[in-house]
Amino acid sequence: MKKAIAILLALVLCFSLFACVDTSTTDGDETAAAAPADTAASASDGTQTDETAEPALDADQYFNTYLSNEPTTLDISLRSDSYSSTIMINTMEGLVRNGEKDGEYVTTPGVAESWEANEDGTVWTFHLRDSYWSDGEPVTAQQFVYSLQRSAAPETGSPSSFFLQPLKNFTAVNTGEMALDQLGVKALDDNTLEITLEQPTPAFLQMIDGTVYYPQREDYITQYGDKYGTEAEAYICNGPFKVESWTHNSSIILVKNDTYWDADSVNLSRITLSIMPDENTSYNAFQSGELDYVTTESMEWLETFKATDAEYVSSASASLTYAFFNSKDALFQNANIRKAFTLALDREDVNDMVFSGLRVPTYGWVVPAISVGETNYRQAAGDMIQEMIDELAAEGKTPKDLLVEGMEELGLGSDPSTLQVTFSLAGTSEWFRTLGEYLQQVYKEELGVNMEISYSEWGIFYDNVLNGNYQIGFMSWGAYYNDPYDVLSLFVSSYDAIATGWSNAQYDELIAAASGEMDEATRLQEYIDAETILIKDECVACPLATWQSHAFYRSYVHGYSTLGFSNDGFKYMYTSGR
């Protein structure tokens, strides 16, 4: 039975939700983007140049790619999925941009051409260059102030507001205890922005490349109201590209934004992002030449694409696939029951059976790509799930024993077959249905539970999660920047970004302390202590696998990035030899 399920999953494997198609990575080397030294090209007279010569750019610069789901909104304050982020990072520009150069991460100036901080790192002053929106209006410091205040305002209900936690008075403003003008952000003049922090924050420069730190136009938001960010005409850009059209559930077309301050570095004139929820549609579109890019987690298609002349790019991602529990649920309020459902899943088997062996089995909440300074976090913290498995085995127990202990603690008897458990999945495709069958089989075999599976489209699924109408869910989360705070802060009581309903005062204190701790060794230990509470003690979520990118680009596509935290997007991409 498992083998049959594995074959079906391999045939129709799609992307986990919340992990967007990685179409937005490009090469961040501004000086070499138009002329990489390792690319051979043909001169205009047809003669072959040497490998160090500049490639001849195609006269018609366009790129055909795709998204695996429709973006929910392009409203910066309301964005909640990475499909929206893909559009935003290519059409917007923040104070800085996190990119890459020579295989290393770099933070380069964006709208801010320079900045400085006071001695203790709590007051940052950003000097804005002359830059413009796509309608020709100037980008001002006040527009950053408006954006940050709007996202912090409790009435906005921004799902990303917790990323503003470092700003002075954020918590009080976000809970309505202080007025918006008390948030630590101020326009000293049109081109000077001052941001004041509650405490020194080591990763602050990396954090401000997140979409929630982008500027916003109050006049557009006032004009369009709830419609803002839902249609091409109800959206305004200040980045490398602008939205020319948005045909819902079909395609989004971006065109070069000639008013962008660094437009000379942008070669692509047009990008077509087809919306393709079915992975076989995207695979066939790439094979037929309709797409210039595809990524796959099907071993069959991986080998098929490798046999072509497409460029294969494989890299570690910062996106974690996981299950998560509703701690307010009558059953999953119990930690032993959460642990039982977590430890019953063999991560190696999940990777082989569900993801065709193409992901990285993961045993902690923080993915292997994240570091604290020069120290890889996962290596320092260890594989917490595996430690739990080993400790349970040393006691002569199984996950089912934990389940029965939890049931008895709740007065539910000792027969797991009497439990009513529903696992919610955010998809109705064949892949999701086959995944559901796999989960039913594993939990029946390992725990004796007769599990029900709920299938629904993403919007319905996520609405149920936010309203607490679920027991176990399944999705992915992609980190924005290279620091454990990015993903561990999701469980802080006042944020609860995963919507588990869980809270722990000690956990909150550790995350708050670590976020402002400048000593790397101390900060690392505080994060490890917090993750220990989250995973080993409380088991609020069930990490499963880290997404491994298996991407293919047409041989004529150049200038793309390969690092997981790069936000250069399509900016430096170009085609030569189409």
Q: How far apart are the C-alpha atoms of 173 and 5, rounded to whole Å?
A: 50
Predicted confidence (pLDDT) at residue 492 exceeds the cutoff of 60: yes
**What pLDDT digit, counting tens, does each position of 52-78 carry?**
456 799 999 999 999 988 999 999 999
**What pLDDT digit, counting tens, does each position of 89-108 carry?**
999 999 999 888 877 778 89
According to the model, what pLDDT value does residue 82 have? 82
**What pLDDT digit, counting tens, does each position of 336-345 carry?**
999 999 999 9
- Other C-beta atoms lying within 10 Å of the C-beta of residue 131: 21
**What pLDDT digit, counting tens, does each position of 387-418 carry?**
999 999 999 999 999 999 999 999 999 999 99
- Higher per-residue pLDDT: 545 or 51: 545
What's the whole-number mean pLDDT along residues 300-322?
92
According to the model, what pLDDT value does residue 548 have? 87
Q: How far apart are the C-alpha atoms of 534 and 523, rounded to whole Å?
A: 17
- Higher per-residue pLDDT: 213 or 206: 213
Q: From the centroid of its chain, how far is CA 23?
A: 13
Ranking 3-12, 551-560, 568-577 by mean pLDDT, the lowest is 3-12
Percent of the chain with pLDDT over 70: 91
pLDDT class of 191 with cuts at 50, 70, 90 = very high
Q: How far apart are the C-alpha atoms of 104 and 28, rounded to whole Å?
A: 10
Predicted confidence (pLDDT) at residue 50 exceeds the cutoff of 70: no
According to the model, what pLDDT value does residue 557 have? 97
DSSP 238-267: -SSEEEEEEETTTEEEEEE-TTSTTGGG--
Could you tell me which of 4, 15, 1, 7 has the C-alpha nearest to residue 545? 15
What's the whole-number mean pLDDT along residues 502-526?
94
**What pLDDT digit, counting tens, does each position of 450-481 carry?**
999 999 988 899 999 999 999 999 999 888 88
Domain ranges of the chain: 62-310+554-575, 316-548
Predicted confidence (pLDDT) at residue 346 exceeds the cutoff of 60: yes
According to the model, what pLDDT value does residue 24 have? 32
Q: Can you read off the two tokens belonging to residue 267?
A: 């070669």
Residue whose tokens read 């802060």: 489
Cα dist from 558 to 57, 267, 307, 447, 570, whole Å: 10, 11, 20, 50, 10
The fold adopted by the segment(s) 316-548 is Dipeptide-binding Protein; domain 3 (3.10.105)
Predicted confidence (pLDDT) at residue 527 exceeds the cutoff of 60: yes
Q: Can you read off the two tokens belonging to residue 407?
A: 């049931």
What's the whole-number mean pLDDT along residues 309-316?
90
pLDDT class of 289 with cuts at 50, 70, 90 = very high
DSSP 501-562: ----HHHHHHHHHHHT---HHHHHHHHHHHHIIIIIIS--EEEEEEEEEEEEE-TTEE----
Mean pLDDT, the chain, integer: 89
Cα dist from 521 to 55, 137, 513, whole Å: 46, 46, 13
Is the pTM above the cut of 0.85? Answer: no
Strands 311-325 and 472-478: antiparallel
Could you tell me which of 573, 571, 549, 572 has the C-alpha nearest to residue 562? 549
What's the whole-number mean pLDDT along residues 356-383?
93
Cα dist from 318 to 20, 435, 480, 487, 562, whole Å: 11, 22, 8, 10, 12
| Helices 2-12 + 347-354 axis angle, to 10 | 60
Q: Can you read off the two tokens belonging to residue 138?
A: 């100037």
According to the model, what pLDDT value does residue 1 have? 52
pLDDT class of 35 with cuts at 50, 70, 90 = very low
Handedness of CA 480, 483, 485, 487 (dihedral sign): positive
According to the model, what pLDDT value does residue 23 have? 31
The fold adopted by the segment(s) 62-310+554-575 is D-Maltodextrin-Binding Protein; domain 2 (3.40.190)
Q: Of all helices (H) and strands (E), which one includes residue 316? A: strand 311-325
Strands 62-67 and 270-275: parallel
Could you tell me which of 139, 158, 140 has the C-alpha nearest to residue 149? 158
Q: From the centroid of its chain, how far is CA 382?
A: 23
According to the model, what pLDDT value does residue 317 have? 82
Residue whose tokens read 């796999």: 438
